[in-house]
Amino acid sequence: MLLLVAVIGFAAWIYLVGFRGGFWINSRFNNLPVPAARSEWPEVVAVIPARDEASSIGNCIRSLLSQPYAGRFSIILVDDQSSDGTAELAAKAAAEIGAADRLTVISGRTPPAGWTGKLWALKQGLSRVEEREIEPTYVLLTDADIVYSGDVLPRLVTRADDGKLAMTSVMAKLRCESFAEQFLIPAFIFFFQMLYPFSWVARPDRSTAAAAGGCLLARWDALYAAGGIDAIRGALIDDCAMGGLLKSRGPVWLGFSQGVSSVRESKTFDDVGGMITRSAYAQLQYSPLNLAGTILSMAVVYLAPVIIALIGGYPADLFALGSWALMAIAFQPTLRYYRRSPLWGLILPAIAFAYLMYTINSAYQYYRGRGGMWKGRAQANLSGFR
């Protein structure tokens, strides 16, 4: 029996490393093009939903309005009933760099039934864009904790224009300083890429669709033609839902850039774990059967190799050691991206076990009516999907 489990785990890692779109080779997707000289740049409007983001909103606004973008660029901030002065701090940040005229602040309303808070805030911001006499070419949907550096905005637009893309999205580099962040954040990116291989996302012949909600540049006409935010109003994993929506209207691209980073602090395991717990069961479509399958597969692929390698005996231990080595090797590009020691690769099974516990907790919170909890709102399964 142990030999069978070890062989299955090893075969799984052969598939993952060799045949799942090269998901683990980050450098393949870290290539936003250098902007070439051009006489005219398309208009871009950024829409930022913000709820109690006083700690980060100033940096976000200043970084965006300081981008060296030669075309028309403005921001609509939707203040989602904040109680910490988010709107005032945003206006102050824009005024400090002489760009107050390029920031519009909207007071958000309470989400109606069937809407998540973030998507309802985006809906209000996009409705303001729709009221303009001349619509922009692109809308940049971005989060209030994201900071932009270098010339990433013109690079995003260049990527979108050159590829005639309906969507260009960048996975923000998450903060990775506290021990909890170091333990969990690189694996968060690794697992996301495993679920949604970026090379498959970009291929029109693949159904795989995803995006990173922190930085998503959408062609306005494609978003409008796809039905807008209304089409995904109850989606808890809104970025992947948006990726699927826009992929139905044209080619899309998802990758990395050092110029897009999150400044949100997650000092404790509860902080990072809350992010995972919020959406893990939604990823499984709120299905107990999918949850059971996930527990079984993670046990075989991540946990069993360690146990069998230590106590399994020959030849099962050789297959188990092979699995452990392959997962450690596959984790290395992500660890390098976050400048972490390669030794973290050896404890990926322990990290995976933590993720499994957060996933089980996500299901538990859902069944007690607190699924998808974010800033005081339980938002899981608003569409009633089971």
Q: Which of 114, 384, 129 is nearest to 232 (CA)?
A: 114
Secondary structure of the chain in HEC code, one letter for each residue: CHHHHHHHHHHHHHHHHHHCCCCCCHHHHCCCCCCCCCCCCCCEEEEEEECCCCCCHHHHHHHHHCCCCCCCEEEEEEECCCCCCHHHHHHHHHHHCCCHHHEEEEECCCCCCCCCHHHHHHHHHHHHHHCCCCCCCEEEEECCCEEECCCHHHHHHHHHHHHCCCEEEEEEECCCCCHHHHHHHHHHHHHHHHHCCHHHHHCCCCCCCCCCCCEEEEEHHHHHHCCCHHHHCCCCCHHHHHHHHHHCCCCEEEEEEEEEEECCCCCCHHHHHHHHHHHHHHHCCCCHHHHHHHHHHHHHHHHHHHHHHHHCCCCHHHHHHHHHHHHHHHHHHHHHHCCCCHHHHHHHHHHHHHHHHHHHHHHHHHHCCCCCCECCECCCCCCCCC
Considering only the top CATH level, what class is 26-266? alpha beta
List the structure tokens of 235: 């989606």
Note whether 309 and 317 are within 8 A (CB). yes
What residue spans define the domains of the chain? 2-22+270-366, 26-266
Q: Which residue has the tokens 């990290």?
A: 351
List the structure tokens of 360: 């089980």
d(CA 223, CA 202): 17
Residue 9: exposed, middle, or buried by beta-carbon count in 10 A (0-12, 13-18, 19+)? buried
Strand order in the sheet with 103-107: 103-107, 73-79, 44-50, 138-142, 215-219, 167-173, 252-262, 146-148
> Letter for the amino acid at 170?
V
Q: Which residues pair with 244 in a beta bridge?
A: none
Note whether 175 and 262 are within 8 A (CB). yes
- The pLDDT of residue 312 is 87
Give 135's contacts (C-beta < 8 A, 6+ positions apart): 129, 220, 221
d(CA 210, CA 245): 9
d(CA 75, CA 99): 10
- The pLDDT of residue 36 is 86
- The pLDDT of residue 349 is 98
Q: Which residue has the tokens 């922009």?
A: 136
- The pLDDT of residue 386 is 45
Note whether 273 and 358 are within 8 A (CB). yes
Tens of pLDDT, residue by residue, the chain (386 residues): 899 999 999 999 999 999 999 999 988 888 899 998 888 999 999 999 999 999 999 999 999 999 999 999 999 999 999 999 999 999 999 999 999 999 999 999 999 998 999 999 999 999 999 999 899 999 999 999 999 999 999 999 999 999 999 999 999 999 999 999 999 999 999 999 999 999 999 999 999 999 998 999 999 999 999 999 999 998 888 999 999 999 999 999 999 999 999 999 999 999 999 989 999 999 999 999 999 999 999 999 999 999 999 998 899 999 999 999 999 999 999 999 999 999 999 999 999 999 999 999 999 999 988 877 776 766 766 655 44
Q: Which residues pair with 46 in a beta bridge?
A: 75, 140
β-strands 138-142, 44-50: how paired?
A: parallel
Count CB-CB contacts under 10 A for residue 270.
10
- The pLDDT of residue 28 is 85
Note whether 215 and 227 are within 8 A (CB). no
